[in-house]
A and B are shown apart, each in its own frame.
Chain A
Amino acid sequence: MNAGRRILIIDDDPAFTKATRAILEAHGYLVDEAQNGEEGLAKMSQQKPDLVLLDVMMAWPLEGVSVSREMMAQRDLQHIPIIMVTSIRSSEHRTAFPQDEYLHIDSWLDKPCSPSQLLSEVERTLARYERFKRKAS
């Protein structure tokens, strides 16, 4: 049932991207990746993923938050579910997330998280989005 669902990972940590990709692909998702916010936004516009896994801290501490705000501002991107996967909470910026700015996300996960946590969050968020799409149509 996951076949054909597209997930875009936006993260500057190749180790995390690689591992996450392996887990998601093993469960039948189509995975794409971007290493920064700009690249991520560009790929989103082309591919229209079903879900975005977004890192908070990339080139600057709240880059991910800016990406989510940018997605919110674009009509064709604002309905893409976002899960923030972040290690910011074990860094010196821990108090900055998740409350400092208005968040436009659907869920968030602390890194490191277990594969089962990641998968269940992805499945749950997608299922909820499906429900919404059914309701809207």
Chain B
Amino acid sequence: MAAMTTLLLAAVLIALGLSSLGLLYYIYTLKAKLRLQEAELVAAKEEAQRHSAALQELEGELARLKSVPRVEMMQVLQLVHELRSPLSSIQSALDVLLQGYITSGTDLHTEMLTLARDRAAATLAQVNDFLRMGSVLQGEVRRKVQPVQLLDVVRRLAPEMRVKARWRAVNLELNLPPSLPLINANYADIEHLVANLMNNAIKYTRAGGKVTVSLREEGGKVIGSVEDTGIGIAPEDIPKIFSGFYRAEAAKKIDAYGTGLGLPIAKRVAEMYGGELKVESELGKGSKFSFIFPKSEVQAVERAPEAPSYPSSEPADSSPRLVQRKISGRRGEMRPRERVGVYVCHCGTNIAGPVDVEEVTRFAASLPGVLVARHYAYMCSDPGQELIRKDIRELGVGRVVVASCSPLMHEHTFRRACQEAGLNPFFVQMANIREQCAWVTDDVFLATRKAKSLVAAAVRRVGYHEALEVKEVPVKPAALVVGGGIAGIEAALRIADSGKKVYLVEREPSIGGHMAQLFKTFPTLDCAA
């Protein structure tokens, strides 16, 4: 029995052992399997996390996509709303005037008209700002990028800004180096940026304050700044001024009708050309706006001090002289789409006295091919020339007709103005309505009619102009005269009298030609020509 029990026990133990072995094995495999599953789960979890991050990112993107148009739409609505109020005040002012409630000629009458005019001007400025914003936002690729000289930009803006500064009794100081590297940008955009900063600085500075514009080069960058001693910007407002439509309370007190788009546009423009726009400001003390642009790889050869030098009366030996060379254009073909700009000068009362300049301008504008016609007190003055340069740059005027005085007087002036704006200087045609109309008659009717006819002819002619290039070539101021007859001798002597070396060539052994056959001539009895 004991043996049986032992045997049984042994058998049980063995069985147990076996089964526990089996169990152990089972547990072991289960554990391995679980481990495998765990790894799978971890992987799945990681993947899920990855997906969720991507999803979050997508959601963010979606939200951004959704919110951008909404923000823009809100801005458009806001702008339209802002336009409504000036328009309605213009309308009511005009209604009151039209319905005869206010006697014409009184101060109130003038006041109402001034109000309507000022609101209209402010509205126009707002619309222009908005259009500019639109073009900056969408036109990033289409813009013509070229090397721009910031010194030119500031110098050209200076006269206009000085007038504005003087109005507000603000002292405008320009701190410009003699030369500066070029930057790559669109001229009109950069001009707008600088003009905007200068206008703001002048506008938000109290009488007696100072605005300083400086330009400099530093470490491969061109840095400009417009610093004022004006009202300044509160620290909490600084991030907002670049975001669009924001206007600080203090700014609204000075100019109630701004759009708050000027600085966002300026910032956008700066960034478009790889630059940046920064501001430092202290409330009540002033602001300093700086724009920083990388310098262009293209660095122009410094322009000669006098742009096109015309032949001087005393050429030195081998001095550079000028020839004009045709560089483009087809002969004898009128191209009506030349986008002609016509500029009618009053010359004070010299022209505007006998000639109805307004009427001539209106007529010029009606001519085919004419894009724009303007009249101005003195076209040759700086602001007059600027009208032309601005139209070339902003409207794309391609040919210029100046109806003013004799071309002997100012053709050179207007050619230079066109060249400064990037137009070939030979695309200028003058119509002399002073010497040929105004100064030769008191008959307003006929003088005006003739001025129109000269302007029409000039518009026609300028369409035929070809782009010419001024080229300098060395010239040896010596002459070769072939033939030693009376004409040859005379020519040789005249040239020699003006100080030039002359070579006179004659095939016969002596000079004199037919003259040598004569004994005496009447009445001087000598043989001089």
Contact = CB atoms under 8 A, between A and B. Distances in A.
Interface of A: 78-79, 81, 89, 95, 98-100, 102-108, 128-129, 132, 135-136
Interface residues of B, number: 21
B456 A103 contact: yes
A106 B452 contact: yes
B317 interface: no
B311 interface: no
Contacts of A128: 356, 359
Closest 7 CB pairs of A and B: A99-B460, A132-B445, A103-B453, A132-B444, A102-B453, A99-B456, A103-B456
23 contacts: A78-B446, A79-B445, A81-B445, A95-B334, A98-B456, A99-B368, A99-B457, A99-B460, A100-B460, A102-B456, A103-B452, A103-B453, A103-B456, A104-B453, A105-B449, A105-B452, A106-B449, A106-B452, A108-B366, A129-B445, A132-B444, A135-B444, A136-B445
Contacts of B443: 136
Interface of B: 334, 336, 356, 359, 363, 366-368, 442-446, 448-449, 452-453, 456-457, 459-460
Contacts of B456: 98-99, 102-103
Nearest to B458: A99
B457 A102 contact: yes
A132 B334 CA distance: 35
A98 B359 contact: no
Nearest to A97: B368
A132 B448 CA distance: 10
A102 B444 CA distance: 18
Given A132-B444, A135-B444, A136-B444, A98 B367 contact: yes
Contacts of B448: 106, 132
A102 B366 CA distance: 16
A69 B367 CA distance: 19
Contacts of A105: 449, 452-453
A102 B431 CA distance: 13
B459 A107 contact: no
Contact of A98 (B356, B368, B446): B368
B445 A95 contact: no
A128 B444 CA distance: 10
Contacts of B453: 102-105
Nearest to A89: B368
Given A95-B334, A99-B456, A103-B453, A79 B446 contact: yes
A106 B452 CA distance: 8
A57 B459 CA distance: 22
Contacts of B367: 98-99
Nearest to B444: A132
A132 B354 CA distance: 10
B522 to A, nearest CB: 46
A68 B214 CA distance: 60
A129 to B, nearest CB: 7
Given A108-B366, A136-B443, 4 more contacts: A102-B456, A103-B452, A104-B449, A106-B449
Contacts of A107: 363, 366
Nearest to B461: A99
B333 to A, nearest CB: 11
A106 to B, nearest CB: 6
Nearest to B443: A136
A100 B445 CA distance: 22
Contacts of A89: 368
Contacts of A100: 460
A131 to B, nearest CB: 8
B9 to A, nearest CB: 127
A136 B442 CA distance: 8
A57 B255 CA distance: 57
A136 B453 CA distance: 21
